[in-house]
């Protein structure tokens, strides 16, 4: 097993789970099979993070842009998500996992919305790991919606414009009570964020791997964490300022 320091784990890991389609293509099967295998990886990774002691895990399960995929694929992904919520609720309750979601849930059909809200409610008192599903999520949509709500509050006198700070703005985002990600992982050799956590990723460490999501294992996760632990997070300060804190 790769050497990682369990005392300095990233508090919040966020993952862009990419490559299901290419994985399926390489196997000579339809794209949906890639997503089915992708769900298995989700289960392994959730378990690995929980066992390791990661406090927050965000998974980019369905982007705002994914709504424009062929209808058959959208329906299949929705069915898989619904099935996942039903099959994993027990696992979440038994393992002290709290479920949250970020995204525009208005676009979701009733059965999946219901399953999501039910599991969120039932797990709301759990204090172990928080699993956040980014569903019908887009970073620019999130920021636009937040700006709209804040502008309404300003217009109606609930918040004086001169009191608006980055902290105040962040309270209008879907992630209001969620700490920023420390480590963002993207699989499948694509080097971009694709509208994921645009505001929240300001100081996240980014890790890219060629491995396709269905092939991503606990060992790959360890590799990403070990790589993260090699880095010096400076948050805009100098190296000297950072190391002084540890003297
Ligand atoms: C990207 O692969 C993946 C998605 C668009 C969906 C991710 C969904 C899952 C892993 C399964 C459902 C999730 C949960 C939480 C149960 P792609 O289709 O874009 O792959 P490609 O780039 O190779 O075509």
Would the pLDDT of 247 be above 70?
no
pLDDT digits (tens, 9 = 90+) for 23-37: 999 999 999 999 999
Residue nearest to atom 6 of ligand 1 (CA): 61
Residue 228: which of 189, 180, 185 has the closest Cα?
185
Q: Average pLDDT for residues 109-129, to the nearest whole number?
A: 97
User: Does residue 146 lie in a domain region?
Assistant: no
C-alpha dihedral (58, 64, 66, 70), degrees to nearest 10: 150
Cα–ligand 1 centroid distance for 39 (angstroms): 9
According to the model, what pLDDT value does residue 234 have?
82
pLDDT of residue 232: 84
Q: pLDDT at position 230, please?
A: 94
The ligand 1 atom nearest the CA atom of 59 = 15
Say if residues 42 and 214 touch (Cβ distance below 8 Å). no
CA of 247 from ligand 1 middle (Å) equals: 45
Whose Cα sits closest to atom 3 in ligand 1? 18
* Whether residue 245 lies in the annotated active site: no
176-198 per-residue burial string, b: 16 or more CB within 10 A, e: under 16: eebebbbbbbbbbeeeebebbbe
Specify if 81 maps to a domain. yes
Q: Would residue 24 count as lying in a domain?
A: yes
Which residues contact residue 109 at a Cβ distance below 8 angstroms, ignoring those fewer than 6 apart? 78
Q: Is 17 in the pocket of ligand 1 (CB under 6 A)?
A: yes
The total number of residues written for the chain in this structure = 247
Q: What is the pLDDT of residues 157-190, one digit of tens each?
A: 999 999 999 999 999 999 999 999 999 999 999 9
Bridge-partner residues for 186, per DSSP?
16, 208
**Percentage of residues of the chain with pLDDT beyond 70:** 98
In-domain check, residue 148? no
- C-alpha distances in Å from residue 135, one per residue of 30, 50, 64, 107, 128: 23, 21, 8, 10, 22
Tell me, yes or no, whether 155 lies in a domain. no
Q: What is the tally of structural domains in the chain?
A: 1
Closest ligand 1 atom to 23 CA: 23
Domain contains 202: yes
Closest residue CA from atom 13 of ligand 1? 61
User: Containing domain of residue 25, as a range?
Assistant: 12-138+179-246
**For residue 106, what is the domain's CATH number?**
3.40.1180.10
Residue 130 domain flag: yes
Enter the pTM of the model.
Answer: 0.95
Residue 235 lies in a domain: yes
For residue 66, indicate whether it is catalytic: yes
């Amino acid at each position: 097993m790769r050497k990682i320091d369990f005392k300095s784990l990233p508090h919040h890991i966020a993952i862009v789970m990419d490559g299901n389609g290419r994985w399926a293509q390489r196997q000579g099967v339809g794209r949906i099979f890639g997503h089915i295998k992708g769900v298995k990886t989700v289960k392994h990774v959730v378990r690995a993070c929980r066992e390791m002691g990661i406090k927050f895990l965000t998974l980019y399960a369905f982007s705002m842009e994914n709504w424009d995929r062929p209808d058959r694929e959208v329906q299949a992904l929705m069915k898989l998500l619904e099935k996942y919520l039903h099959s994993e609720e027990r696992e979440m309750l038994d393992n002290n996992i709290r479920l949250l979601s970020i995204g525009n849930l208005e676009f979701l059909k009733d059965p999946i919305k219901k399953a999501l809200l039910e599991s969120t409610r039932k797990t709301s008192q759990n204090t172990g790991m928080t699993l956040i599903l980014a569903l019908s999520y887009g970073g620019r949509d999130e920021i636009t919606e937040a700006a709209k709500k804040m502008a309404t509050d300003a217009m109606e006198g609930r918040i004086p414009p001169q009191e608006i700070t980055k902290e105040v703005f962040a309270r209008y985002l879907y992630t209001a009570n969620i700490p920023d990600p420390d480590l963002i992982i993207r699989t499948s050799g694509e080097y971009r964020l694709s509208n994921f956590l645009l505001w929240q990723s300001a100081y996240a460490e980014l890790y890219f791997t060629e491995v396709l999501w269905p092939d991503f294992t606990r060992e790959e996760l360890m590799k990403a964490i070990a790589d993260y632990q090699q880095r010096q997070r400076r948050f805009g300060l100098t190296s000297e300022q950072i190391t002084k804190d540890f003297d």
